[in-house]
Amino acid sequence: MRTLKPILTFLRPFVDRMPLLANGYRRWRDRRLLHQTPVMTPFGFRLVGHAEMQAGRFEPAETVLIRELLAATDILLNVGANIGYYCCHARQLGRTVLAFEPMPTNLEYLRRNLAANRWSEDVEIFPLAASNRSGEIEIFGGATGASLIQGWAGTPAHYVTRVQCATLDDTVADRLAGRRVLVVMDIEGAELWALQGARRLLRSRPQPVWVVEISVGEHQPAGCIVNPHLAATFAIFWDLGYEAWTATATPRRVTPAEVAAIAGGGPDTLGTHNFLFRPSPVA
């Protein structure tokens, strides 16, 4: 593959002018590791598809935090499960997994990684995008960057797949009531829509703990400097009695005033795009 890389780099500007060819190349690129031999990770499970995940270097602070949270959890609800990295952590720790992943190629990786570890029980896969409605929706891009937001991370508009979408309330909220749930959500800019479709889940007792990726300025479509849904996304949690913390090696509390200042055009003082939302002790 190393010998091909300079050639592919040279050809890319020409390929991008031909949408069908470009989309075919991208889909080949996204699937090319699917049949590699699974690699044993430092965490004790096997994985195909992502070198940083295989080596234990992917989101190190978040991985430590999520493994700690899983210790006090019955069920992992992984929204935007991708190839199943956090699903594998949960199963390796003996937790039940519900995984939402709409992209066909990602689903192939997810199923391959579960099979590589012989995990066929206590795991359920929903081939759906979590949103605020049920039906069909367009998703742009692929691999770890697939997004419901057109123009996300510079993805061409023609690199698009139609997928099914549903709300978390309609699909899983009722069955999770009374269980200790950790929600890990990484859906590339579409967090607000998913949360709008999860009001009942957010209010359930006990309230779930959430780890959510929320981009502040990164990957926004052309013309957007700051995530236009930043304040509204945090507000959903605060309005329901959650605390917001940075999901970093040294977590710190995030306040409404800080988020309002950033959303209003101030500097990004958060220092991360991953956040922990947990029920307030008085909620």
Is 29 inside a domain boundary?
yes
Is 51 inside a domain boundary?
yes
Is 6 inside a domain boundary?
no
- The percentage of residues in the chain with a pLDDT greater than 90, rounded to a whole number, is 77
Q: How confident is the model at residue 186 (pLDDT cuts 50, 70, 90)?
A: very high
What was the pLDDT predicted at 206?
97
113-124 b/e (C-beta count within 10 Å ≥ 16 → b): bbebbebeeebe
- 2: pLDDT strictly greater than 80: no
Q: How confident is the model at residue 50 (pLDDT cuts 50, 70, 90)?
A: confident
Q: Please report the beta strands in the chain, taking only residues with DSSP state E, as ranges in sequence order.
A: 39-40, 46-47, 75-79, 96-100, 123-126, 129-130, 135-140, 160-166, 181-185, 209-213, 242-246, 253-254, 274-279
Q: What is the CATH number of the domain that holds 237?
A: 3.40.50.150
Q: How confident is the model at residue 51 (pLDDT cuts 50, 70, 90)?
A: very high
Is 5 inside a domain boundary?
no
Would you state the structure tokens that stand for residue 165, as one six-digit string? 């979408």
What was the pLDDT predicted at 33?
74
What is the end-to-end Cα distance of the chain in Å, rounded?
A: 53
Is 3 inside a domain boundary?
no
Is 227 inside a domain boundary?
yes
Is 2 inside a domain boundary?
no
How many domains is the chain built from?
A: 1
Is 27 inside a domain boundary?
yes
Task: Give the burial class of 43: count Cβ atoms within 10 A of its Cβ; 0-12 exposed, 13-18 middle, 19 or more buried.
Answer: middle
The count of other CB atoms within 10 Å of the CB of residue 264 is 10
pLDDT digits (tens, 9 = 90+) for 69-89: 999 999 999 999 999 999 999
- 22: pLDDT strictly greater than 60: no
Q: How confident is the model at residue 1 (pLDDT cuts 50, 70, 90)?
A: very low
Q: Which of 100, 272, 67, 83 is nearest to 182 (CA)?
A: 67
What was the pLDDT predicted at 34?
80
Which residues span the domain enclosing 268? 13-279
